[in-house]
Chains A and B, each alone.
Chain A
C-alpha cells in the first residue's frame, strides 16, 4: 500500500507515543518525590506499608535463602576440614576459659543474692522468654543496616524487642507485620541505645554510624573506663532491658570512643528476641510504703 503524500500518520503516532512516555515518566517521578516526602512526614503510613510488604517479601526471600545458605554451608564444611586441627585447639582453649567463667559466675550469683538480701533490695523477678526468628533479608542498600525476619506479630514479636545472639546485642525490632519483622542493627546510623560501661558505671548513648565500630556519645566529663572494658545496655529510658552485652571499648582517642561488638556478623542466620515485661515508669509504679525519717 502506498502512503499518501502528506500523510504523517506513523510519525505523528510515534511522536505522540513519545510525548505520552515523557508525561508518564514525569508523573511517576513526581509521585516518587511525593512518596519520599510523605514517607518522612507520615511515618505511620510508611511503617504500615513497610510491614505489609515485609509480610509478602519474607516467605519469598525465605525460599531464595535456601540455596544461599546451602552454598555457604558447603564452603564452611570444606574450610572446617582444612582447618580442623587449628579449630580443635581453639575450641579446647575456649572451653577451658568458659568453664572457669562458669565457676566465677556461680560464685558471683551467690554473692549478688547475699548483697541484695543485706540491702533489702526487693527481688523483682521478670520472667524472660525468648523467641527465635530466621533472617530472610537485609536492607539491600549501603546505608540502611536492617534485617528482615520471618516471624511477626502472629508469633509474639513486638516493636522494641532486643534481638541478640549468644555473643551479644544485634539490634532491636523497629517494625512488625503479621508474619515478618524488621530489626535495626546497632551499627545503623539511626540506632541510639543507652548503655553503661560495666567497670566504671559511666552511662552513654551508643550511636551507630554505619561502621563496625559504633560510637559512645554523651559521656560524662571525666569517664573512668579503659580500652577493653565491657559495655552493656543500661536499661535507661525503657528502650532495652539492662545487662545485655553490647561489646567492648575498642578505642578511646581524642574524645572519640568506639565499641566493637562481639557478634559474628558473618554468621547471622537466626536471632533470639527477648520478650520482657518492661520496667514500669515512675508514674505508673506503686509508691513505696511511707517510712519515718530519722530526724522526725
Chain B
C-alpha cells in the first residue's frame, strides 16, 4: 500500500525530536564551566532524519531551528542554519549509498558531516573574532557528537519502528 507523504500526527515526531534536541543543547550542563564540552544533539538528530526521512525535516524547518538556536544561544544568527543546510545538501548525494550499506556506515558517514560543520563554524567565528580561535573545542564537540550518535540513533530508531506511518515510508 502506498504510504501518503502528507503530514500526519506521526510526521511531527521528527520535528519534536529536533526541538527537544535543540533545547537540550541550550540547557546549562551540571558542570557549567566555561569550555564545558557537549555534543551537538541537534546535529545528530537532523543527520538521522535527513538520512531516513528527509521529507519530515525539510530545509525550511532546518533553517528555522538553526536560526532559533543561534538567536536563543547568543551565536551569530544564521550560522547553525547554514551548517544544517549545507550538511543536508551534502547528504542528498550520499544518502542512498549510506542506506544500502547499513547502520555502521551511516554512523561513519556522520564524520565528514561533523568535519564540514565544525570547519564552517570555526571559520566564521574566527573571522568574526578577528583571529584564529582554538580548534580543540570544535574537535571535542565533534568527537562527542560522533560518540553519542549510536545511542541517539537507537532511540530515534525505536521511535521510527513504533510509528507505522514513518516505518513503512522509510522502507520505500
A residues lining the B interface (CB < 8 Å): 21, 24-25, 28-29, 31-36, 38-40, 46, 49-50, 53-54, 56-57, 60-61, 64-65, 68, 71-72, 75, 135-148, 175, 182, 185, 187-190, 210-212, 265-266, 268
Chain B residues near A21 (CB, 8 Å)? Answer: 59
Q: Mark B44-78, 1 if CB is under 8 A from A, else 0.
A: 00000000000000111011001111011111111
Chain A residues near B129 (CB, 8 Å)? Answer: 189-190
Cβ–Cβ contact A137 & B78, under 8 A: no
Chain A residue at minimum C-beta to C-beta distance from B23: A64
Q: How far is the CB of B65 from chain A (nearest CB, A)?
A: 12
Given A53-B68, A148-B26: A143 touches B78 (CB 8 Å cut-off): no
Give the distance in Å from the alpha carbon of A65 to the alpha carbon of B23 in the complex: 10
Cβ–Cβ contact B74 & A182, under 8 A: yes
Given A33-B82, A61-B23, A140-B69: A135 touches B35 (CB 8 Å cut-off): no
Give the distance in Å from the alpha carbon of A76 to the alpha carbon of B91 in the complex: 43
Given A142-B37, A189-B133, A211-B34: A137 touches B73 (CB 8 Å cut-off): yes
Which 4 A-B pairs give the minimum distances between C-beta atoms?
A35-B78, A142-B137, A265-B33, A32-B82
Give the distance in Å from the alpha carbon of A92 to the alpha carbon of B76 in the complex: 47
Cβ–Cβ contact A25 & B88, under 8 A: yes
Chain A residues near B28 (CB, 8 Å)? Answer: 65, 68, 135-138, 147, 268
Chain B residues near A148 (CB, 8 Å)? Answer: 26, 72-74
Chain B residues near A29 (CB, 8 Å)? Answer: 82, 85-86, 89
Chain A residues near B86 (CB, 8 Å)? Answer: 29
Cβ–Cβ contact B82 & A135, under 8 A: no
Q: How far is the CB of A269 from chain B (nearest CB, A)?
A: 8
Which B residues from 114 to 151 make CB contacts under 8 A with A?
A: 121-122, 124-125, 128-129, 133-134, 137-138, 140-141
Cβ–Cβ contact B77 & A212, under 8 A: no
Choose among A50, A71, A142 the residue with the greatest number of B CB atoms under 10 Å from its CB: A142
Number of residues on chain B facing chain A (CB within 8 A): 52
Chain A residues near B29 (CB, 8 Å)? Answer: 68, 138
Given A143-B125, A266-B32: A32 touches B63 (CB 8 Å cut-off): yes
Q: How far is the CB of B30 from chain A (nearest CB, A)?
A: 4
Q: How far is the CB of A47 from chain B (nearest CB, A)?
A: 10
Chain B residues near A135 (CB, 8 Å)? Answer: 28, 32
Give the distance in Å from the alpha carbon of A56 to the alpha carbon of B73 in the complex: 12
Chain A residues near B26 (CB, 8 Å)? Answer: 57, 61, 137-140, 148
11 pairs, A vs B, C-beta closer than 8 Å: A32-B78, A46-B71, A49-B71, A50-B71, A57-B72, A61-B23, A137-B27, A137-B72, A142-B138, A148-B74, A188-B34
Cβ–Cβ contact A25 & B23, under 8 A: no
Given A140-B25, A189-B133: A31 touches B73 (CB 8 Å cut-off): no
- Cβ of B24 under 8 Å from chain A: yes
Cβ–Cβ contact A265 & B31, under 8 A: yes
Chain A residues near B30 (CB, 8 Å)? Answer: 68, 71-72, 75, 266
Find B34's partner among A33, A71, A137, A187 (CB 8 Å cutoff).
Answer: A187
Q: How far is the CB of A282 from chain B (nearest CB, A)?
A: 31
Q: How far is the CB of B160 from chain A (nearest CB, A)?
A: 22
Give the distance in Å from the alpha carbon of A257 to the alpha carbon of B75 in the complex: 28
Given A25-B59, A25-B88, A212-B33: A141 touches B121 (CB 8 Å cut-off): yes
Q: How far is the CB of B2 from chain A (nearest CB, A)?
A: 12
Given A39-B78, A268-B32: A24 touches B59 (CB 8 Å cut-off): yes
- Cβ of B15 under 8 Å from chain A: no
